[in-house]
Structure 1
Amino acid sequence: METIAEVDTLVTPDKIHLMIILNEEDNRNRKSTEELEASMFRVLKSLSIDLKKSLSVIDYSSEFKKYFLAGQKVLKTKMYSLILKDAQTVGKVMAGLEREEISNVSISKTEYSKSEQLLLELRAKAIMKAKRNAENMVAPLNQKVGKAIYISDLETASITSQLQGKVAGVQIRGASSIYGSRASENIMIDFEKMEFSSKVNVKFIIE
């Protein structure tokens, strides 16, 4: 007896990567990159975010990059990666940074931290579903399903590669900065749930 079974589930991302770019030319009051950096630290600390665990420099040199423009003018830019756990905190961070004239903030990637364990659980459920399917098929024949002699994982592994590095759909509400004013309230963000699935092919002995 050969049967194919598939199970799936939806989960909310719990590892959200933000890219923060600090540039002295990106704010109306021409604050220096150092001033913007200090403001960013202040905002994140006020939200009880662990900077050592969640914040890192993503600039390839880990130092200020210098862009030489016309004449002797120099632009200093620094890029950070910030990892947060939920949409509510993401909204608070984006609104807080916006109020400090740090608006070059983007969501670069979303992940589910327990994806490997979830895929293992889904694979097990798919195998059990395959067994139930087989039992239902042989029941009218007054026969039973015996041991499984072949199991093939058809698609579980491909789900990880499909999700890796991609950003789930994002819906932003209350971002007054989009219309040219400073964000007076926290930005409300909703993330589309991520889909995980497992599909197996199982062959059983019929008794």
Structure 2
Amino acid sequence: MKNVLLVLTLLAMAPTTFSQSKNFLDVPYLETSARVDTLVTPDKIYLSITIQEKDSRGRKSVEEQENKMAQRLKALGIDIDKQLVIKDLSSNFKKYFLRGKEVLKSKQYSLLVYDGLTTGKVMAALEDLDIANTYLEKTEYSKMDELELELKKRAVKKAKQKAVALTDPLGQKVGPAIHIVDHSQPYYPRYNQPRMQTMAKMDMAEAEPLDIDFEKIRVETTVNIKFRLIE
């Protein structure tokens, strides 16, 4: 009998407890939202470079082209130990009339540079070496995490300022935030598709790389906040 009474008591208390937790926002409040954004210049530019053996009598080996490329990159001040990595090593098999089967090797690299001017110099150097199978792989901003946090802070402050502006004429004060929703979308690096054709040969005597930045990256943050109102 005592057990039955205990169960009935708990069941009677349950709706009250649920109601109290459900109605935690049953207080005067003001809801505001704010969005902030900024533009940043990418400082990590990744170039995809593919070196292939030349399909001709006097063909150059991958290793020979690789060494020449390394020398030119070093001359441009690039640390190839840190900025150049091999992505893929493959062999293409082709059959030739009266020559049997040959193996044409190719190597794919990823080169990291930090500004537009260096990118232009690298592309021009590779063209000069007849390594034209190159394209912009992706761009990034190295301090993206810190920037996103800073934008979130600015968005929250902006939402608070809007709340104060809305309640001041009413003689009310903005209390603590009772509900915050971050609607921001995480930033992902920009990836580019490889070109279907190699780049056109440049006239090195007439063209010099320009010191032009890459297209800026837009980063934005949006927050929605409910502030308690104080009479």
TM-score range (shorter-chain normalised) is: 0.7 to 0.9
8 Å Cα contact 1:26/1:102 also seen in 2: no
Question: d(CA) in 2 for partners of 1:166 and 1:140?
Answer: 49
Give the deviation of 1:32 after TM superposition. Answer: 1.9
Which of 1 and 2 has greater Rg?
2
Q: Percent identity?
A: 46
> One-letter code of the match for 2:86?
V
In structure 2, the residue matched to 1:69 is: 94
For residue 209 of structure 2, the aligned residue among 180, 187, 195 is 187
1:127 matches 2:156: yes
Task: Provide the secondary structure at the position in 2 that maps to 1:13.
Answer: coil
Q: TM-score, normalised by structure 2?
A: 0.76
8 Å Cα contact 1:159/1:197 also seen in 2: no
In structure 2, the residue matched to 1:196 is: 219
1:79 matches 2:101: no
Runs of 5+ in structure 1 lacking a partner?
Answer: 168-176
For residue 48 of structure 1, the aligned residue among 69, 77, 88 is 77
Q: 1:1-150 to 2 correspondence within 5 Å?
A: 1-25=30-54, 30-59=59-88, 64-70=89-95, 71-150=100-179
1:21-56 deviation line (CA, Å, top 9, x unaligned): 0012289x7322111101110111001111111110
8 Å Cα contact 2:47/2:110 also seen in 1: yes
The number of equivalent residue pairs is: 189
8 Å Cα contact 2:46/2:136 also seen in 1: yes
Task: Provide the secondary structure at the position in 1 that maps to 2:152.
Answer: helix
Question: d(CA) in 2 for partners of 1:114 and 1:79?
Answer: 28
Runs of 5+ in structure 2 lacking a partner?
Answer: 1-29, 193-198
